[in-house]
Structure 1
Amino acid sequence: MTPRLTFLPEWVEQDLVLISWPNETMDWASRLPQIEACYKQMAESILAYEDLLILAKDPEHVRGLLSDREHKHELFIMEMDCNDTWCRDYAPLSLLLTDEEGNERPLIVDFTFNGWGMKFAADKDNLITRALYLSRAFVPETAYTNALSLVFEGGGIESDGAGTLLSTESVIVEPNRNAGVDDEALRQYLIEILGGERLLTLTNGQIEGDDTDGHIDTLARFLTPTTIAYVSCEDPKDSHYHELERMKKELEALRTKDGTPYKLIPLPLPPALHDEEGLRMPATYANFLFVNGALLVPTYDVETDAVALERLKAAVPDREIVAVPSRALIYQHGSLHCATMQFPRGFINKNKWR
C-alpha cells in the first residue's frame, strides 16, 4: 500500500491536553489574578477527563495553585518560557503516518509561528514544538515534519479525519504570513503536508476583536465528519449580522466528499462584550475543546450560554457538555480552544515526567 498521512480529528481518544500558563511577562500582566483564576478552572475542567501538561515559567508556582484538590487524572508541568498563552497556534499538529506495510506511527508537524502576521513577538513560541520534540516529550517512534518554510497556525485549520480540511481565505492569503508564495501553491502544500484530499475555505466570517485575521476555530468547527457547528447572528442590528449570514450561505453550499450537504448546528453569537477601552471582544462558542468523553464549551456569563450548551448537547449526545467560564480569556482576544492543544492517544511519552 502507498504510505499515507491522516490529520487526526479532535474527537479521537487523547493522551492529554497542553496549555501554557500565563505569567507577569506576558500581555496578561495587568490582569494576572483574573487570568490565573480562569486557567485554574480550565485546568481542573480538563483534569476531570484526562491528563494535562502545563508549560510554565515557574512550575512550582503553578503546582502550588493547583495543589488544593485531588485530580482524577495526571498533571505534568514542564518548565518553558513562552511569549504568550495561545498554544493552539504554536504547538504541533498531530497526524498519523501509515507506511507501505500498514504500520502506524505518530507524526507531528512544525509550522513557523510569527505572531499572526508579525503583530506580536513570537520568538519563544516559535521554538516550542522543537523544544517538546527534542526533549522527548513524544514517544520515541514519533516522526517530525519540518514545515518551517510555511507560516501557519493550528487555530487556522480543521480536519474531519477523512481527508477534508476546513480553513478561511483571510488566513491563507494574509500577506504578512507567506508573502511571495502563490496562493494555489500554498493550498496544495497545506493539503500535501497535512495528508488532506481537499481544502474547503470560507471567505466570510470576520469577528470583531479577533486579531488572528479570521481563524476557523472562532467560526466553524467539525463536530463529526458530516456535522459543522458555526457562529450564527440572529440580531439584524448586530454589526456581525450580514457578515455571518454570508458565512452561513457559504457553509450551506459546502458538500461532504460524497456530495451531501453538511448538517449545520448554529451557535448563537453572544451579545456584545467590551473591554475597558470600549472595544468589542471576540466571544464565540465555536471555540470549544474535545476531551475524552466530554466537550468543554467556553461560556461568558451571558444569556446565550445556555442556548449554546443545549444545542451542542443535542448535536453530540454521547458526550458530557461542560461549561468552562472563559470571559477572562477574551480580554486578550482568544478563548478556550485557542488556549489549548490536544494530543491523540499514543503520542506522548508520559514517563518523561513521572
Structure 2
Amino acid sequence: MTVIPAEWSPHRAMWVGWPSHGELWEDNLEPAQAEVEALVRALAGPGREQVRLLVGKAGALDDARARFADVANVEVVDGRFGDIWLRDTGPIFNADGVANAFEFNGWGGKYELEHDDTVAVQIAAHARAALTPHAFILEGGAVDHDAPVRSPPASACNPNRNADWDEATAGTALAGALGARKVLWLGDGLFNDHTDGHVDNLARFVAPGVVACPVAWGTKDPNADVYDAAARDLAAMTDADGNAIRVLRIPSPGLVVDEDEKVVPASHMNFLIANGAVIVPTYGDDTAAGLACKALAEVFPDREIIPLPSLAILSGGGSFHCITQQEPA
C-alpha cells in the first residue's frame, strides 16, 4: 500500500525553489531572494536538512552558488521552472522513495509558465527516484495529511482542474495515488488566493488527528468567517479510525495588504515542518507571529520554532510551504 509520510517524519532532503526570473518578480526579486536565503540557511542548520536548491534559469546559477558557497549542506541544482512553487509543481514522495507526479495546468490555467509541467520529472531524476505518473491534476498545496488521513479543500474538484470529478471520484483517485484511507473535505480558502483555496493556507495537520486552523487576528481580518467555518467543520469530523479530529486555533496574521492596498492571502499556516525545526512565515505583525509561534511550540516541543519574514515571497502568491517539497528519509 502506498504511504505518504507525514511532514514531521524524518527527511532525506528538502527541495527549495530559488527566485530566478526578474521578469516575474520585478522589484521584489532581490527581497524575495533575501527571504529565501534566510529560509535556506535556517533549514541547513546543524542537524537539520540537506537542502536541494532548484534554480530555474541558467543566468541565476552563479549568484545562487556564490550565496551558499559557505553552507556545506546546500546543493544548488541547475533546473528549469516557470516559478518557485515546488509544492505544487514537484512530485509527492512516498515512504519507499517513489516520486508521484501529477499533471499541472497552472492553477486552473491562471499562470501557465514554461517548464512548470516538467518540474516533477526533473526532481525525481536528480533524486534518482522511481517516477510514477498519475493522469489527473493535483497540486501538492491542495492536500495535507497525518499519514492515514488527507484533507484537501475544493480545488481538486474545481472545474478548472478535473472537470469530471466529484468528491467520491477524487477520494478514489487519492486513495490509489497516495494511499488515502479517508478524505476530509474543507470549503472556501483564503480571500484572493489564486490557488482556489489550497489547504496549506487554511488548515494543517500538526500531529495524528490534530489540525491547526487560524483564528482571526484583529477586527478587520478578511478571512474571519472562513477560519471559523473550517474550524467548525473539522471539529465535526473523524479520522480513518473513527476518532474525533482535534482542532488547534492559531492566530492569523490579520489583515495584510500589498502596496496597492489589495488584500493578500497571508497565512501562518504556510509554515514548513523540517528536521529539527518549524519555519513560520511572518508578515509584519510581531505580536500575531509570536502568538502563532507559541502555539506551534506546544505541539512541536522537540523542534525549534523559527519565525522568518515572507512578505516579498507572498507578493508572488505563496510562502515557505509553497516553495518547498520534502524527500522522506
In the alignment, structure 2 segments of 5+ residues that lack a partner are none
Report the 3-state secondary structure (helix = DSSP H, G, I; strand = E; otherwise coil) of the residue aligned with 2:278.
Answer: strand
CA distance in 2, matches of 1:201, 1:93: 20
* Change beyond 3 A, Cα 1:78–1:215: same
1:225-271 per-residue CA deviation (whole Å, 9 max, x = no partner) reads 12111121154553322222111110111112333322221111212
Q: CA deviation at 1:122?
A: 3.3
Report the 3-state secondary structure (helix = DSSP H, G, I; strand = E; otherwise coil) of the residue aligned with 1:243.
Answer: helix
Alignment of 1:1-354 (within 5 A): 4-48=1-45, 49-56=48-55, 57=57, 58-67=60-69, 70-71=70-71, 73-96=72-95, 105-133=96-124, 135=125, 137-139=126-128, 142-147=129-134, 149-161=135-147, 163-169=148-154, 171-204=155-188, 206-233=189-216, 235=218, 237-302=220-285, 303-345=287-329
Q: Is the 8 A contact 1:21 1:85 kept in 2?
A: yes
Q: CA deviation at 1:9?
A: 0.8
Q: CA deviation at 1:195?
A: 1.0
CA distance in 1, matches of 2:165, 2:187: 19
What TM-score do you get using the length of structure 1 for normalisation? Answer: 0.87
Q: Is the 8 A contact 1:294 1:320 kept in 2?
A: yes
Q: Is the 8 A contact 2:253 2:282 kept in 1?
A: no
CA distance in 2, matches of 1:314, 1:228: 13
Aligned residues: 323
Greater helix percent: which structure?
A: 2
Q: Is the 8 A contact 1:109 1:144 kept in 2?
A: yes
Q: Is the 8 A contact 1:219 1:231 kept in 2?
A: yes
Of all paired residues, the percent bearing the same amino acid is 28
Report the 3-state secondary structure (helix = DSSP H, G, I; strand = E; otherwise coil) of the residue aligned with 2:21.
Answer: coil
* Change beyond 3 A, Cα 1:188–1:122: farther
In the alignment, structure 1 segments of 5+ residues that lack a partner are 97-104, 346-354
1:55-81 per-residue CA deviation (whole Å, 9 max, x = no partner) reads 1123221011223xx43x511111112
RMSD: 1.7
The one-letter amino acid of 2:43's match is I
The one-letter amino acid of 1:146's match is P
Q: CA deviation at 1:27?
A: 1.8
What TM-score do you get using the length of structure 2 for normalisation? Answer: 0.93
CA distance in 1, matches of 2:120, 2:220: 43
Q: CA deviation at 1:199?
A: 0.8
Greater strand percent: which structure?
A: 1
Q: Runs (4+) of structure 1 moved beyond 6 Å?
A: none
